[in-house]
Structure 1
Amino acid sequence: MRPRSSGIPLWGRIAGGIAAVLAVLLVIVMFFPWDMLREPLNRYVSEKTGRKFEITRRLDVTPGWRGATIAFDGVEFANPSWAREPYLVKAQRAEFEIRLWPLLGGKVVIPRLMLVSPTMGLQLEQDGRRTWALGKDTGDVDTVPTIGLLQVDGGGVDFLAEHLGVDLHADFTFDTARGEMPLDFRVKGRYQRQTLTAQGSTGNVLQLTSAGQPPFPMEIKAVAGKTQLSAKGTVAALADLDGIDAQFQLKGQTLGDLYPLLGIALPQTSPYALSGDLRKRAKLWEVQGLKGKLGLSDIGGDMRFDQAPKTPHLSGSLRSRVMDMDDLGPLIGLPPTERAAKAVEGVEPPPSITQVKRAQKDPGRKVLPTAKLDFERLRAMNAEVQYTAEKIRNVRDVPLDRGSVHVKLVDGVLTLDPLDLGLASGKLAGAIRIDATQNPADIRASLDIRAMQLNRLIPKVETLKTSFGKLDGRINLSGRGNSVASWLGGSSGDVAAITGRGEFSNLLLEFMGLDGGEIIKFLLRGDRNVTLRCAAVAFDVSKGVMVGRSLVFDTTDTVFNASGQASLSDETMHFVVRQQPKDMSILSLRTPLVIGGTFASPSVGIEAGQLAGRGLAAVALGVINPLLALVATIETGPGVDADCKGVLADAKQPTAGAAAAGAAKAKTARQ
């Protein structure tokens, strides 16, 4: 006789058995005395990591479907023996969630970590070793845990990376009375070998890696060296500073100080104060609505800094409504002026050019900037930036009207092309190229001068009612150097300025010609202008020595011819100017003028030989008859018109040799 069937199919009985087993296991897991595993776990972790790990009071585990929540009541985890701090972490309590499936692949994923009153010692070595790598090989990045959210209730953290110049200590305090940002932090130490202090607040959770959570709020005020930062916004991930959306204010003595802090190679500048909106996604930093002051100039625009390429890339567009001439000095190695040094409130003024010269033993010895320009930074990134100044303030009697420049930096080669400046109602345009892959740097400048009004270029002459014509010219120089002075001191090429017909003050002309009779006449009757037929100032430059090729100034009254040279290396000069009047005059002491001395202390005199000859003749004739003494001062006017066509032609081309070769090389700066 067959047994009666229960009515439950086989598969149902199997499923029921599995469910029963799982229920029993769940009950066992839920009520398992996990603290019994504390000592075995201490030994296991210590063995696997090669350093002491101890749960000092109690272990508790709450299992879940995807992972488990583990709580340590008191924990001490030692650092490797090579670390400065004894503990990686020592806390009154630690609680963390851990994903189970990644453990099968040797990955430690911790979505949340909470620490109560921790002491943490994080250290990174140049060879890649780090104290938070959990394997015996602390240089193996695969043993570094992935941590999502970090909650810290008080305590402190030390971070040391000597090879990066970083040694920081942070203290945390947690107080729910602070509202949406209850976690307060204070940081002190050194960052990039500069003193750093910072303080700020965040939400109750720090998101170290992006884990699908919304960004957390954060505000910070920091001072690193002479640089001050204030920012407020949100951050998605602290580990790589990703997902930043913040408003910032930045102040400092020079933008050049940002290079060691941020890795952005910016030029030396006057003190600055900038603000804007900062956004970062992955490796791309963006600043929008940038505005503020750069010394005495205003500045605004938008910038992007992309760290994704092998060589980071900076790009953007900047503009100034008014750019002050005083702010150009630091770009070529000069300290800022006193006005520019004190232009930004809240920033300690850097030493001004006046203070620097006062501190020098021989403040007037050099005029050309000798400060070494840090061209090595140009190899740290690539860049393409457009800058426009709508108006340039006339500070030092140089009538710059406007300016624009396209800056391009590719693999250590910097070009300013085109460079376009409105100068004295005319134009100065061209290109400058600096190859920083060579040491000293290869520097080439090719600039053209077009239609500049000389009465604006030399405004003080306007007091003599002078009205000049228009000036054209060029500068083509090439050489090598790491400062403006060293480059010019060894450069070769061509420098020239020419002008056609115009007018010139006759009173000034007679002073230059030492014509006493004409001076007295004009003082009694008033000044009048004479016609300028042509003028040319052209130099062949060979290894820093400027030799006059065509130095002519021809008016309807007098023709001046000059000869001589100037040294850009030792900043000395010697020129002789010979006047040849075209009219007859009495009381004339016409004799060659001698211009000499140094750029810092020039001297102007006359050739003593010719003047002494006229003086002796006057004395001899005066013995015979006092009226005859005037005969020696009579100028018969032997001067003739210069060949203006020939003068201008000579000024247009350098002679052969180093000057011609240098000029040709300089022109290659233009693309």
Structure 2
Amino acid sequence: MVAAPEPSRHPSSPWMRLVVACAVLLAVLMLVVLFFPWDVMRVPLNRYVSEKTGRQFEISRQLAVRPGWRGATIIFDGVDFANPPWAREPYLVRAKRAEFEIRLWPLLSGHVVIPRLALISPTISLQMEEDGRRTWALGKDTGDTSTVPTIGLLQVDGGGVDFLAEHLGVDIHADFTYDTARGELPLDFRIKGKYKRQPLTAEGRTGNVLQLTSEGQPPFPLEIKAAAGKTQLSAKGTVAALADLDGIDAQFQLKGQTLGDLFPLLGIALPHTSPYALSGDLRKRAKLWEVKGLQGRLGLSDIGGDMRFDQAPKTPQLGGKLRSKVLDMDDLGPLIGLPPTERSAKAIEGVEPPPSIAQVKRRRGDAGRKVLPTATLDFERLRAMNADVQYTADKIRNVRDVPLDRGSVHVKLLDSVLTLDPLDLGVANGKVAGAIRIDARQVPADIRASLDVRGMQINRLIPKVETLKTSFGKLDGRINLSGRGTSVASWLGAASGDVAAITGRGEFSNLLLEFAGLDGGEIIKFILRGDQTVTLRCAAVAFDVNKGVAQGRGLVFDTTDTVFRATGQANLATETMRFVIDQRPKDKSILSLRTPLIIGGSFGSPTIGVEPGPLAARGLAALALGAITPLLSLAATFEPGPGADADCKAVLAEASKPGTAEAAKGAAQATGARQPQN
């Protein structure tokens, strides 16, 4: 008899039953979740959120939930969520409908992650305070950043948004309209209010979804035209994250009265300029802003290059290289604190012209006003960032009385110390080179200037002299000044150092000399016999500068016909002067006027003791003022000119070095502007 086989026992059968039981339980739970009447939870949910946040929350009509594997989609049909009591507006959000996805696992650790939020006809009022409080913090402590939800995509169908941050000078309102007929950019927005305490208006279009964070989503398109104060912006491109303006790729056009206005708006400490119009490609990744292919105009001058602004370091860093094919002299005034000329002020179409220098003069109605720039250094800007920018001007036009040909400068700003080193200018077929250093770590700032003049042609320095028969020599010179101040005027009014300029042999028209020397006999000879040339043997102007007082130590102009010697001083603080010029003709002249000439008055309105005519006034004033004008304020260390006679060598030697201890000390400090500073 054959035994019956035993029933088979599969070793995994209990586990299979457990799995089946779990699957059945999960299916039941899914059915419960799917068919659960979630709206019965609306009143308890309203009460729970209100208690947790300390402010009124209400789903006014219906609550619905669509569960998913990673999270759930929650729909509020009608929602009101109040702001904290300290806020200006009563409600944070009021909307006809709100739909959002929420991640479940982050909730276990107390974090609210919302990948997508869609609002129908919302009114949103956001407010942030200087102490860190913000209305969208969901806990009772509105200053706790851990209670701020993370929102990915924001979809808005109509409605409006208010944002207030009084400590930042921001108070704006935006209105949205949605229309699918607008194609890829269906969401239209209009913004009005104040940004950085300046009037702001803006309008533009974007896609139907605004991306607040960049994780896992493609950039969204954006077009905008905005005006803040006197600054106008238009841009078109894409943005990856709206919350921190990250992942920007756009083309932009920027216009305004001065680049200096960008400091309160963007925190970039650019100098004041003439009105401008710029365009280029803008790119931002994390904290790094880059502009490629920058081109446009600053007043009457063109400009181009590449720039970058890195906000990641503790002190933001600006860098780049800029170049002008043609620089117009009218555009340099605002850089040293002067208003632009009328030509420069009106150079950019579509920008309201700022007050020109002529208008400012008329408003002041003061013919004897200060000549030296009095605009105060902006210490906040000098401390706001670091910079390393190189600028080159291939050609300089409209130079008027200062024949600049070209220029370049390397601007460095490190830990509140600004240096222009090297500074290289082509002037009158010669060269001015050196360095300027402004230490803004202290107030008043420690300012030092040390520059050289090499081989400038004198006939190009004197207005209209080129119309005469001339063959002037070349000018060499120096300026070494140091002192403390808060403006160009206050610095020069307290500076000490040495200023000198010399030239050797040359020839020029006797018409210029005799008018300047008031030699009536030579004028008659010129009329009867025509223009003759006069040989210049040597010339020198040298000043010892002691706390703003420039005392002449060697002011000599020696020709084969006449020797001019001057004594006196110029006060750079009061902008007044007094020089006595003694002319001694070397030939006999029956009409030579030997009375010394006195040049005095103010820099803005000089006077001359004898009225020899317009040409004499210009010539003698230029001789006396040559070492204190902005041109010779760019002079520096020199080598003696080629004077061949013994007395000329003595004249040039007199100008070779400072004559007083205070001037020597100031000059020595100024030369430190060229040396690396720790």
With the shorter chain as reference, the TM-score category is over 0.9
Q: Alpha-carbon deviations, 1:561-591, whole Å to 9, x = none?
A: 1100011111111111111221122222222
Query: How many angstroms does 1:529 deviate by?
Result: 1.1
Counterparts in 2 of 1:82 and 1:392: CA distance versus 1, 3 Å: same
How many angstroms apart in 1 are the aligned matches of 2:506 and 2:578? 28
Q: Distance in 2 between matches of 1:328 and 1:588?
A: 43
SS in 2 for 1:127: coil
Inter-partner Cα distance in structure 2 for 1:669 and 1:200: 49
Q: In the alignment, what sits opposite 1:601?
A: 605
What's the offset of the Cα at 1:487?
1.1
Distance 1:164 1:607, change over 3 A: closer
AA aligned to 1:13 is R
Work out whether 1:403 is the aligned partner of 2:407. Answer: yes
Check 1:363–1:80 CA distance in 2 against 1; reply closer, same or farther (3 A cut). Answer: farther
Output the amino acid matched with 2:32. I
Q: Which residue of 1 aligns with 2:249?
A: 245
Paired letter, 1:518: E
User: 5+ unaligned residues in a row in structure 1: which ranges?
Assistant: 609-640
2:361 equivalent among 334, 353, 357: 357
2:616 aligns with none
Conserved 8 A contact 2:367-2:605? no
Q: State whether residues 252 and 282 of structure 2, in contact with CA within 8 Å, keep that contact through their aligned partners in structure 1.
A: yes
Residue 450 of structure 2 is aligned with which of 438, 446, 458? 446
Displacement after TM superposition at 1:607 (Å) = 11
Q: Within the alignment, does 1:233 sit opposite 2:237 as a pair?
A: yes
CA contact (8 A) 2:396 2:404 kept: yes
CA distance in 1, matches of 2:398, 2:460: 11
SS at match of 2:192: strand
- Indicate yes or no: 2:429 matched with 1:425: yes
Equivalent residue for 1:214, pick from 195, 215, 218:
218
In structure 2, the partner of 1:472 is: 476
Native 8 Å contact 1:469 1:503 kept in 2: yes
What is aligned with 2:113? 109
Alpha-carbon shift at residue 658 of structure 1 (Å): 1.7
Please list, as runs of the form range in 1=range in 2, the aligned pairs for 1:637-656 lying within 5 A after superposition.
643-656=647-660
2:538 to 513, 527, 534: 534
TM-score, structure 1 length as denominator?
Answer: 0.93
- Counterpart contact for 2:202–2:226, Cα < 8 Å: yes
1:510 to 493, 514, 538: 514
Matches within 5 A, 1:126-525: 126-525=130-529
Q: Is the 8 A contact 2:370 2:575 kept in 1?
A: yes
1:325-378 CA deviation, whole Å, 9 max, x = no partner? 111100100000000000000000000000000000314322111122313211
Judge conservation of contact 1:531–1:555 (CA < 8 Å) in 2: yes
Q: In 2, distance between residues paired with 1:324 and 1:364?
A: 27
- Cα deviations by residue, 1:175-230 (Å, 9 ceiling, x for unpaired): 00000000000000000000000000000100001121110000000000000000
**Which residue of 2 is the match for residue 630 of structure 1?**
none
| TM-score normalized by the length of structure 2 | 0.92
Counterpart in the other structure of 1:550: 554
Q: Which residue of 1 aligns with 2:591?
A: 587
Residues 611-622 of structure 1: pairs in structure 2 closer than 5 A: none
CA distance in structure 1 between the aligned counterparts of 2:53 and 2:516, rounded to whole angstroms: 89
Distance, in Å, in 2 between the alignment partners of 1:456 and 1:350 is: 33
Structure 1 outlier segments of 4+, above 3 Å = 1-8
Residue aligning to 2:618: none
**Does the 8 Å contact 2:367/2:604 carry over to 1?**
no
2:517, 2:502 → 1: CA distance? 22
In structure 2, C-alpha distance between the alignment counterparts of 1:300 and 1:515, rounded to whole Å? 53
Q: Could you say what secondary structure the match of 2:290 adopts?
A: strand
The Cα of 1:4 is off from its aligned counterpart by: 6.3
Is the Cα contact below 8 Å between 1:272 and 1:295 reproduced in 2? Answer: yes
Q: Secondary structure at the match of 1:300?
A: strand
Q: Quick check: 1:593–1:607 contact (8 Å CA) kept in 2?
A: no
Are the counterparts in 2 of residues 336 and 351 from structure 1 also a CA contact under 8 Å?
A: yes
Please state whether the residue corresponding to 1:267 is helix, strand or coil: coil
Q: Deviations over 1:451-507 (max 9, x none)?
A: 000111124112222221000001111111111111111111111110011113222
Question: In structure 1, which of residues 564, 567, 571 is the aligned counterpart of residue 571 of structure 2?
Answer: 567
Q: How many corresponding residue pairs?
A: 639
Q: Give, in whole Å, the separation in 1 of the partners of 2:367 and 2:271.
A: 25
Q: Say which SS state the counterpart of residue 609 (structure 2) adopts.
A: strand
Tell me which of 1, 9, 13 is aligned to 1:9. Answer: 13
Deviation digits for residues 42-79 of structure 1 (CA, Å, limit 9, x no counterpart): 11111111111111100000000000000000001100
Distance 1:464 1:604 in 2: 24
How far apart, CA to CA, are the structure 1 residues paired with 2:593 and 2:437? 49
Answer yes or no: is the 8 Å Cα contact 1:271–1:340 preserved in 2: yes
What is the CA-CA distance between 1:511 and the residue it aligns to? 2.2
Give the superposed CA RMSD: 1.6
The Cα offsets for residues 591-642 of structure 1, whole Å up to 9 and x where unpaired, read as: 211111111111112499xxxxxxxxxxxxxxxxxxxxxxxxxxxxxxxx87
Q: Distance in 2 between matches of 1:329 and 1:375?
A: 20
The amino acid across from 2:199 in the alignment is T
CA distance in 2, matches of 1:464, 1:6: 125
AA matched with 1:551: L
Deviations 1:66-103 (CA, angstroms, capped at 9, x unpaired) = 00000000001100000001111010000000000111
Matching residue of 1:29? 33
Quote the Cα distance in structure 1 between the aligned partners of 2:5 and 2:534.
142
Instruction: State how far apart, in whole Å, the 2-side matches of 1:423 and 1:237 are.
Output: 50
SS of corresponding position for 1:218? strand
Secondary structure in structure 1 of the residue aligned to 2:214: coil
Paired with 2:459 and 2:545, the residues of 1 have a C-alpha distance of 27
Q: How far does the alpha carbon of each residue in 1:16-52 deviate from its partner, in whole angstroms, 9 at most, with x for none? A: 1110111101100010001111111111111111111
8 Å contact from structure 1 (residues 594, 607) kept in 2: no
Distance in 1 between the 2:515 and 2:659 partners? 33
Q: 3-state DSSP class of the match of 1:643?
A: helix
Distance 1:124 1:524, change over 3 A: same
Query: Contact conserved, 2:330 with 2:398, CA < 8 A, in 1?
Result: no
Equivalent residue, structure 1, for 2:635: none
After TM superposition, list the pairs within 5 Å mapping 1:624-635 onto structure 2: none
- Contact 2:544–2:660 (Cα < 8 Å) also in 1: no
- The answer as to whether partners of 1:476 and 1:662 remain within 8 angstroms in 2 is yes
The DSSP-based 3-state class of the residue aligned with 1:48 is helix
Tell me, yes or no, if the aligned pair for 1:560 and 1:577 is still in contact at 8 Å: yes
> In the alignment, what sits opposite 1:71?
75
Contact 2:553 2:655 in 1 (8 A): yes
Measured against aligned partners, the alpha-carbon deviations of 1:257-292 in whole angstroms (never above 9, x if no partner) come to 000000000000000000000000000000000000
How much has 1:2 moved relative to structure 2? 12
Aligned to 1:54: 58
* Structure 2: gaps (5+ residues): 613-644
Partners of 1:521 and 1:607 lie apart in 2 by: 21
Which one has more relative contact order, counting CA pairs under 8 Å at least 6 apart? 2
Match of 1:509, SS state, is: helix
Contact 1:376 1:436 in 2 (8 A): no
Aligned counterparts of 1:471 and 1:652: Cα–Cα separation in 2: 14
Is the CA contact (8 Å cut-off) linking 1:591 and 1:607 kept in structure 2?
no
Q: Residue 308 of structure 1 aligns to a residue in which SS? A: coil
